Chain A
Amino acid sequence: MSKNSKLLTGPINLNNPITVQVLGICSALAVTVKLEPAIVMSISVIAVLALANVIISLLRNTIPSRIRIIVQLVVIAALVILVDQILKAYSPDVSKQLSVFVGLIITNCILMGRLEAFALGNKPWESFLDGIGNGSGYAIILIIVATVRELLGSGTLTLPAVGEIKVIPESFYQFGYENNGLMILPPMALIVVGIIIWVQRSKTRELIEEN
Chain B
Amino acid sequence: MSVYQKNEFKEVETSRTLSLVVDNQPGTLARVIGLFSGRGYNIESLTVTEIDKIRNLSRISLVTRGTSMTIEQIKSQLLRIVPVHIVRDLTLEGLFIKSELALVKLVVKGANRVEALRIAETFRAKTLDVTLSSFVFELTGKPSKLDAFIDLMRSLGDTEISRTGVSAISRGNKTETKVLEQI
> Do chains A and B stick together as partners?
no
